[in-house]
Amino acid sequence: MSIFPTRTLSSVCEISMGQAPKGDSYNHAGRGYPLIAGAGDFGETTPAPKKHTDAPKKLSKRGDLILCIRATIGDRNWSDTEYCLGRGVAGLRAKEGTLIQTYLGHWLDHAAPALRSRGRGATFLQVSKGDIASLQIPLPPLAEQTRIARILDAADALRAKRREALAQLDTLLQSTFLDMFGDPLTNPMDWPSTSLPAISEVLRDGPFGSNLKSSHYVETGVRVIRLQNIGIGEMLNDDLAYISEAHFAGLPGNHCRPGDVIIGTLGDPNLRACVVPPTLDRALNKADCVLMRVDPAKVDSTYVCWFLNNPRVVSVALRLVRGQTRGRISLGRLKALRMNLPSMALQRRFAAIAESVERQKTRQRAHLVELDTLFASLQSRAFQGEL
């Protein structure tokens, strides 16, 4: 419970629901207003629209909050210019003299779970203007709103710096790769070229169909590596799934072990890879998660991972994507991908650098978790009047 009085959001905030412009008004040439149709057009803090329209029906103003109202309900961006608000978003503007816009932004983040719980719909969840308008917002005096917003801004800025540091470490590793091996497509250092099967002891997609279904998942057991666990150069440990020991034993061809490269061939991006870490001694790869066990006499798994993650290689791999509903790279097409093969000494030198960078990233991630926990605590206390 908050010690501050509460008001309905509509009484202190103007809410403008987005409306889709005419279909023939869309363009990619930059004519008219940038269109925000949903969270897919959001950036880190401000929008990153893909289309424009010269027939907008609803516009945001600079400084408005743009709120996603369907699918990923509760995501938000700041409007840094005028945008056409599409059907999947709403524009929110604090009423002057009653509510501070930056305070509103932080409170919307805090209230996002409550808003999501109001979502309805068969295809995807969506909230209405009434759902947003009826939210109860704690309303301290303006001076207190300003103080709260400044504290949360400062805490959030620390989190942003940690995220930026992580991004810079990834950029550093990609830059180091180019310095050591050159552009993987033009191959200026004239490295010999090979195929993935030629340097693999195992190259196999995960089990399809009845061999592995979601109904086979259990609470604890052997880890299943799924598409959502394959990051760019890192194994992601969110949204974990497991199968029983007996089921694992029945699929021996898909047993993953530390040092294996796991290649995602579906999703965003369609080609991405990570290495199974030493902490994961047993696992099973799912469909569209290709298991590649390299021949250690020919290639280093870390080098393979970062070759596949190189943006230039990813751009070439997009030509291998097939499929109408969900584009994927088949194992057959993946086998045709060519890889440059520098000396093992140089590959291992790069792997040592990558290991050092990964240690730094691990520390940064741990600090970010601490900052996220601190921020959540500050946010909760702020809106209860305990800050």
Could you give the maximum distance between any two Cα atoms of the chain, in Å? 71
Cis peptide before 188 (omega within 30 of 0): no
Sorted by sequence, the CB contacts under 8 Å of residue 245 that are 6+ apart come out as 221, 222
Instruction: Name residue, tokens 């199974």.
Output: 276
Q: Which CATH fold would you assign to the domain 6-139?
A: Adenine-n6-DNA-methyltransferase TaqI; Chain A, domain 2 (3.90.220)
Tell me, what amino acid is at 236? L
Give the 3-state DSSP-derived string for 62-122, with helices as H, strands as E and coil as C.
CCCEEEECECCCCCEEECCCCCEECCCEEEEEECCCCCCHHHHHHHHHHHHHHHHCCCECC
Q: Does domain 192-340 have CATH number 3.90.220.20?
A: yes
Provide the b/e sequence for 104-131 (b: ≥16 CB within 10 Å). Answer: bbbbbbbbbeebeebbeeeeebbbeeeb
Please name every residue paired with 372 in a beta bridge, in sequence order, or none if there are none: none
Asked whether the beta carbons of 278 and 231 are under 8 A apart, the reply is no
Write down the pLDDT at residue 324. Answer: 63
Planar angle of CA 124, 267, 169, nearest 5 degrees: 115
Residues 57-79 pLDDT 10s = 999 999 999 999 998 999 999 99
Residues of the chain with pLDDT under 70: 324-325
- Beta-sheet pairing, 33-36 with 84-85: parallel
Asked whether the beta carbons of 351 and 78 are under 8 A apart, the reply is no
Cα–Cα distance, 207 to 251 (Å, whole number): 8
Cα–Cα distance, 285 to 144 (Å, whole number): 52
Q: CA distances (Å), 59 to each of 28, 48, 131, 255, in order?
A: 18, 16, 21, 53
Sorted by sequence, the CB contacts under 8 Å of residue 260 that are 6+ apart come out as 202, 275, 276, 291, 292, 293, 301
Write down the pLDDT at residue 245. Answer: 95
Cα–Cα distance, 297 to 76 (Å, whole number): 50
Question: Does the CA dihedral 239-244-245-250 come out positive or negative?
Answer: negative
Tell me, what amino acid is at 137? I
Write down the pLDDT at residue 204. Answer: 96
Cα–Cα distance, 249 to 245 (Å, whole number): 6
